[in-house]
Amino acid sequence: MMPHDGAEHGREPSGEDFRAAEEVLALLMPALVRSTPEYEEKRRALAEFRAEVGKDRFDLRYSLRPPRSAVEQAELDFMQGRITEDQFRKMLKADAERPIDVEMLDAFRDAYEERLAAYSRMLQAVIAIATDQRDPDAWRRREAEVDEHVAAMEAKLPLWKEQLATVFSFLAELQAERKGEPVRCGDRSAESAYMLAKLVMDQAAAGWRSSKEIAQRSRTDPCSLYATSASHLFYSSHLPGLPRPQELQALMVLEHARARKALQEEARAAKADTSAPANVSIQAEAVKVTTPSVQVVAETATGVGKSKSKGRVKRDVAEGLILQHLVRRPHDTAEEVAAAVGCSVGLVAESPAWRANRRRLEIAEKEGRDPKAVKLDVRAVTEVGGSKRGQMHASREAQEAQDAEIDAREKELFRRIGEYQAKHPDAAPQEVARALGCTAGDVERRQAMLERLLADQAESAEEEDGAEKFGKRKGRPDGENRQRWIRRRV
């Protein structure tokens, strides 16, 4: 399926079409004299061509706007004769089958936002017509507006069908890893927020068509008790059960922010994955070295020209990165570790480092100590059941320096977010993200960290108060009071 710009083809050229034709003639044929038969003939032909293909493709063909994507650049090159038809087809096929990236995700988001806006306009038009008490026959003039909004809501998306399937599959996988349950809005549910919006809009369009058919029969069938309009039928029968556009938009915005963040983290993880050079895969060859007292089996690597691994970090690399992350952030959830490392939540939960860290937290809680004071290293992980393949691939000092740099950038970003929110306390996360050039997920992550910090402080205050009261009753020293209070709570 070719991407579609949603233009209305086959219409008569308008004044805007003729003005665009004149602009093209001024650029391409400046010597052509106006008001001559030749000029009028070319002007008419260009205006009709613009009415046929639509403004977007007309402007691209005659360089009235720059290409917005690789597909448009290839289309422009083909129209201007710089590539052959066979080359153009191969480029289109490669674009349709490419893996998901941020550009594809954003194009998908923009297309569905336009559909959601048409859904909102449709509901507003139906409500206005059905509740118009001054003019009960308003539906005769205005129901055509609803038809236009429904057509815009069902317009073809400017993506290939392969790309749509890729994006929907990625969003469903992301939701499954995050919660393991569908997205819900009222009594409706779907595997992703965008799929939920699609199902709602499809149902709204089907309900409108059904209402039109019933209304038409009510006015023509002698067996009908009374005549009605499609607007009144839709307003009373379908509208009460449909989600509001604002609810769908909120779910879509949050899902897009999570998906964009996941793609960026996957890109960073793939860039940091230095386990094999580009276009080289590692094949293991067993080499036995025998001495009188020890037998060693080593592995040597041989490079074979194959495609570079795509997607997430490999298991043996991820285990080392998980260990490094938990050494610094022992309280992070499996989802947070997976997002930072660039692997799946299941891999984190199965890793020896995660199991060792759970034991580490239990020991720290029983002893009333900071978890970082309980050592977590490669030896501890190996004792739990891991292997030495999970050891770090870079030096600890280099990793700590990199972590410090990341933490500094995050601290500066959070400071800027805090200053902006102090000046604009009612600003939504999307508004803050647009103003500062970050993502709405960054804003929500900062808010979640603040809430967790406040909760920890409240719990610490409760423990201090409880230990003090416990000590007054027992008459013990303060240090002993606190230890006994913590053990009692555990």
Going by pLDDT thresholds of 50, 70 and 90, the confidence category of residue 376 is: low
pLDDT at 195: 93
Give me the DSSP letters along 289-332.
Answer: EE-SS-EEEEEEEEEEE-PPP-SSPPHHHHHHHHHHHHHH-TT-
pLDDT at 465: 62
Smallest CA-to-CA distance from 325 within 347, 345, 353, 349 is with 353
Q: Is the confidence at residue 202, as pLDDT, over 90?
A: yes
The chain-wide mean pLDDT, for the chain, equals: 77
Q: Is the confidence at residue 309, as pLDDT, over 90?
A: no
What contacts 477, CB < 8 A, 6 or more positions away? Answer: 471
Q: Is the confidence at residue 399, as pLDDT, over 90?
A: no
pLDDT at 207: 94
pLDDT at 300: 36
Going by pLDDT thresholds of 50, 70 and 90, the confidence category of residue 370 is: low
Smallest CA-to-CA distance from 386 within 358, 349, 428, 351 is with 351
Give the burial class of 386: count Cβ atoms within 10 A of its Cβ; 0-12 exposed, 13-18 middle, 19 or more buried.
Answer: buried
What does the pLDDT look like over 244-260, one tens digit per residue?
A: 999 999 999 999 999 99
Q: Is the confidence at residue 283, as pLDDT, over 80?
A: no
pLDDT at 384: 46
Span of 250-259, 359-368, 386-395 with lowest mean pLDDT = 386-395
Does 332 or 205 have the greater pLDDT score? Answer: 205
Q: Is the confidence at residue 50, as pLDDT, over 80?
A: yes
Rounded CA-CA distance 385/392 in Å is 17
Calculate mean pLDDT across residues 361-386.
58
Going by pLDDT thresholds of 50, 70 and 90, the confidence category of residue 475 is: low
Span of 106-110, 126-130, 476-480 with lowest mean pLDDT = 476-480
Q: Is the confidence at residue 421, as pLDDT, over 70?
A: yes
Calculate mean pLDDT across residues 8-34.
83
Q: Is the confidence at residue 9, as pLDDT, over 80?
A: no
Rounded CA-CA distance 79/81 in Å is 6
What the block records as the tokens of 345 is 């939540």
pLDDT at 228: 87
Calculate mean pLDDT across residues 364-384.
57
Calculate mean pLDDT across residues 332-361.
82
In a 13 Å sphere around the CA of 126, the CA atoms on its Cβ side amount to 31
Calculate mean pLDDT across residues 421-434.
84
Supply the pTM of this predicted model: 0.49
Q: Is the confidence at residue 232, as pLDDT, over 70?
A: yes
Q: Is the confidence at residue 54, as pLDDT, over 60?
A: yes
What does the pLDDT look like over 131-158, one tens digit per residue?
A: 887 887 888 888 899 999 999 999 888 8
pLDDT at 301: 38
| 335 touches 329 (CB < 8 A) | no
pLDDT at 127: 92
Cα 126 to Cα 57, 150, 240, distances in angstroms: 33, 11, 12
pLDDT at 445: 77
What the block records as the tokens of 157 is 């998306």
Most confident among 53-57, 197-201, 215-219, 288-292 (mean pLDDT): 197-201
DSSP state of 192: S
Neighbours of 212 (CB within 10 A): 19
Rounded CA-CA distance 440/253 in Å is 9
What the block records as the tokens of 217 is 């029969």
Going by pLDDT thresholds of 50, 70 and 90, the confidence category of residue 243 is: very high
As a whole-number percent, the residues of the chain with pLDDT over 90 amount to 19
pLDDT at 209: 93
pLDDT at 281: 43
Neighbours of 485 (CB within 10 A): 21
Does 104 or 469 have the greater pLDDT score? Answer: 104
Smallest CA-to-CA distance from 361 within 352, 353, 350, 370 is with 370
Q: Is the confidence at residue 32, as pLDDT, over 70?
A: yes
pLDDT at 118: 94
| 3 state DSSP class of 59 | helix
Rounded CA-CA distance 288/296 in Å is 6
Radius of gyration of the chain (CA): 32
Long-range Cβ pairs for the range 210-215 (8 Å, 24+) = 211/237, 211/238, 212/143
pLDDT at 259: 92
| 3 state DSSP class of 122 | helix
Give me the DSSP letters along 1-55.
Answer: --------TTPPP-HHHHHHHHHHHHHH-TTSPTTSHHHHHHHHHHHHHHHHH-H
Calculate mean pLDDT across residues 237-241.
90
Cα 444 to Cα 257, 331, 440, 449, distances in angstroms: 10, 19, 6, 9
| 3 state DSSP class of 333 | coil
| CA angle (220, 226, 232) in 5-degree steps | 95
Domain-by-domain residue ranges, the chain?
102-262, 275-308, 312-393, 409-490
In a 13 Å sphere around the CA of 11, the CA atoms on its Cβ side amount to 13
pLDDT at 196: 93
Rounded CA-CA distance 29/378 in Å is 74
What does the pLDDT look like over 444-461, one tens digit per residue?
A: 778 877 777 777 677 666
Calculate mean pLDDT across residues 386-403.
49
What the block records as the tokens of 308 is 């570079």
Rounded CA-CA distance 297/288 in Å is 5
Rounded CA-CA distance 141/135 in Å is 11
| 3 state DSSP class of 108 | helix
Going by pLDDT thresholds of 50, 70 and 90, the confidence category of residue 221 is: confident
Pairing mode of beta strands 280-290, 295-305: antiparallel
DSSP state of 80: T
Q: Is the confidence at residue 125, as pLDDT, over 80?
A: yes
